[in-house]
Amino acid sequence: MARFKVTLEYEGTRYSGWQVQKNARTVQGELQGALRKVFAGSDFEFYGSGRTDAGVHALGQVAHLEARTVLGPEIIRMKANDVLPPDINIIEVEKAAPAFHARHDAKARSYLYQVSRRRTAFGKRYVWWVKDKLDTGLMRGAARAFSGMKDFRSFTDDDPEEKSTLVFIDEVQIEEAGDLVLFRVCGSHFLWKLVRRLVGVVVEAGRGRLRPEEIPPLFSTGTDLPAKLTAPPSGLFLEKVYYGDEKRRAELKPVLSVAHER
């Protein structure tokens, strides 16, 4: 058996998330269907580094593939891409150590979120258009409250009785790019809806409706405020999964050219 590291991108609008589900079209399901054709019915295993929600995109999702095959990495990539739908693309396939695990070996993950301050004809599927005026200074002040180890039970629909809701967030970066406000959230791992609720809370602060000092109590109370402020999935991208001592990305750029200069 050979093991491979697979890096891929996808536009998640048409899919019910990453993970295979009955009676739903998913990214993992499409990839497994393509790989069955590549390996002509031979058994294989294919696991992602983590799930993404319905409508969420990925710039650098990672999976590991184990298969009994004589095909080289580049041949596997080309053959799979030939039968995949156009909104899923395998960027790279490379040989991996026999014990490599896409999820367990990941050291950190980063997500990118795009907020648009104007109505756009081209990027609706890739941004959250916020009509209200946003103060990025207030947003940066609010974002600082999320750094470090926090209990995010109010920021997820995961059951804290079944899964730890403690997550370490390295930092939340916020940059302006024309009419876009870009967020990068980097952390050890992420819970269901965590990033979207974090962005929603920070945007509420940017609107002037939530003071920075009101955010820390959200980690220690059973409030439903973060759930009410959940940002839509359209602006969210799994940016990168980090392994070993990979250097963290510094520059924050928009995914598409919807950042019209004023």
Predicted local confidence at residue 158, as pLDDT: 77
Name the phi and psi angles at 124, rounded to 5.
Answer: -55, -35
Q: Is residue 256 part of a domain?
A: no
Domain count, the chain: 2
Asked whether residue 73 falls in the same domain as residue 113, the answer is no
Alpha helices in 39-147 (DSSP H): 73-83, 136-143
Q: Is residue 90 part of a domain?
A: yes
Q: Is residue 259 part of a domain?
A: no
Average pLDDT over residues 238-250: 89
Asked whether residue 12 falls in the same domain as residue 83, the answer is yes
Last residue in a domain, options 72, 95, 118 = 95
Last residue in a domain, options 60, 95, 130 = 95
CATH number assigned to the domain comprising residue 166: 3.30.70.660
Question: Among 53, 105, 151, 158, which one carries the catalytic annotation?
Answer: 53
pTM: 0.93
Asked whether residue 113 falls in the same domain as residue 214, the answer is yes
**Per-residue pLDDT tens for 127-138?**
999 999 999 999
Structure tokens at 216: 């820390």
Query: How many C-beta neighbours within 10 Å does residue 53 have?
Result: 17
Q: Is residue 69 part of a domain?
A: yes
Asked whether residue 115 falls in the same domain as residue 135, the answer is yes
pLDDT band at 262 (very low <50, low <70, confident <90, very high): very low
**Per-residue pLDDT tens for 17-64?**
999 998 899 999 999 999 999 999 789 999 999 999 999 999 999 999
Integer CA distances (angstroms), 6 to 48, 206, 232, in order:
9, 38, 28
In sequence order, what E strands does 152-199 have?
A: 166-177, 180-187
CATH number assigned to the domain comprising residue 24: 3.30.70.580
Active site residue 53: yes
**Per-residue pLDDT tens for 79-117?**
999 999 999 999 999 999 999 999 999 999 999 999 999
The domain of 122 spans 106-243
